[in-house]
Amino acid sequence: MSEYLQNRNGIIDSLFEFSLGIIHGEKGSELLKKYENLLSQVYPEDVLIVVDKLVGTGEDMELLKTGINKVLNVLYTTINEIESPVYPKNHFLELMLRENTELDQRLKSIKPLNRLFNKLSDPVELKEAYAGLKAKLIDLQSFHVHYIRKENILFPVVEKLRDDHRCLSMMWSFHDDIRRILKSLIALLEKAEPDKKALNSLLGDLFFKMYAIRFREEKILFPVIYPHVSGDEWNDMLMQSAEIGYAWIKSPDNYKLTTALFPDGSGLQDAEVDLGTGKIRASQLMMLFRHLPVDITYIDKDDRVVFYSDPPHRIFPRLKAVIGRTVQNCHPPESVSIVNDLLDAFRAGQKQKESFWINMRGKVILIEYFALKDAEGAYAGTIEVSQDVTTIKNLKGEKRLLDM
């Protein structure tokens, strides 16, 4: 066993050195010759470990992503020939694979339209081709929920399971690339005369990234974690998935989220909480949070999520897998430094509040962060409060109670 582990560690070290060489622009032919024997011995878990180490070097994420794409292109045949597990029907991962199959069909249906608009010159025919392409790309945005389930349900489980989980931040970054490309493509097709060259370039990027992520899911991430997650955890992940939904496939009928506040029948709904300005039962407190016109998330002084409100109008997805997760792991890598800067300013007392606002799906969303202090004035965490302020922003004049 020790000899086997020593051999695997040697392969991992060599793969890391090979990857660094690719990332830093060393001559590919020389690297392939030097590490030729290694490349045929790589297993999916080796890739996870090496990507984690690469992210840990602190290299620029875009540089790392480009380098990893090249490395995995070299390893494609080796990894692809390794047999993947067969997941039970309606298993969390089997449903992810089913969505990937639907994705593949839709990507294939886009290719003829791509070839068509490149041949056409008649304005009327071009307009029809562009309209058909736009409709397919809008439909493709439905796949967003696949990535949301990964980021909010699967990733937290992997983080608890493995210390070498920084590969997930890179995968999340690719998800965001795909989202941006789709938005750019749809915006381009809304122009009177879309730029064909730009369209072809963006479509090429979209296909490459979506297929690359599918390969990394099905041949690397899923097979590695599958044996190490318990049946109860997989079932719990399915329960949470029912809240988010699926892309183009039907949700399993046997996994429905309960709407009861206290489904375990523990009687906690009758427990009273003394808030100083009044006493309130736990069930009333939960109803209060559910009916407030804001989303609330609380992270403690150690940057771990300890509570989120769950109103039906929630703007950003939150699921119970997020509890105990560091807030840094709840964001794509490109924004983690901003999150850390804000939390550092709160800890140091340099700021007490910060506000941001964005336009999302035709709405104006206000996102505010507040530093919490305990009775002694020490930093006790941060709350995030998000609200749709579209109506508030457009208020004019007055409306008094007597005007009802």
CA distance 402 to 404: 6
User: What percent of the chain is predicted at pLDDT more than 90?
Assistant: 49
Residue 111: is its pLDDT beyond 60? Answer: yes
What does the mean pLDDT of the chain come to?
87
CA distance 134 to 185: 8
Q: Where are the alpha helices (DSSP H) in 296-362?
A: 333-347
CA distance 372 to 343: 11
Q: What local confidence, expressed as pLDDT, does residue 79 receive?
A: 93
Cβ atoms of 289 and 280 closer than 8 Å: no
Residue 239's nearest CA partner among 95, 101, 100 is 95
Question: What is the CB-side half-sphere exposure of residue 204 using CA atoms within 13 A?
Answer: 6
* Higher pLDDT, residue 205 or 193: 205
292-393 shares the fold of 92-244: no
pLDDT tens figures, 16-54: 999 999 999 888 889 988 988 888 889 999 999 999 999
Residue 307: is its pLDDT beyond 60? Answer: yes
Residue 317: is its pLDDT beyond 80? Answer: no
The verdict on domain 292-393 having CATH code 3.30.70.120 is no
pLDDT tens figures, 275-301: 888 888 887 888 888 888 899 999 999
- Distances in Å between the Cα of 329 and the Cα atoms of 47, 229, 340, 388 are 20, 19, 11, 25
Residue 250: is its pLDDT beyond 70? Answer: yes
Q: Where are the domains of the chain?
A: 2-80, 92-244, 292-393
Residue 248's nearest CA partner among 98, 359, 382 is 98
- Supply the CATH classification number for the domain 92-244: 1.20.120.520
C-beta neighbour count of 11 within 10 angstroms: 19
Residue 258: is its pLDDT beyond 50? Answer: no
pLDDT tens figures, 197-249: 999 999 999 999 999 999 999 999 999 999 999 888 998 899 889 888 999 99
User: What percent of the chain is predicted at pLDDT more than 70?
Assistant: 93
pTM of the model: 0.80
Question: What is the CB-side half-sphere exposure of residue 203 using CA atoms within 13 A?
Answer: 24
C-beta neighbour count of 253 within 10 angstroms: 8
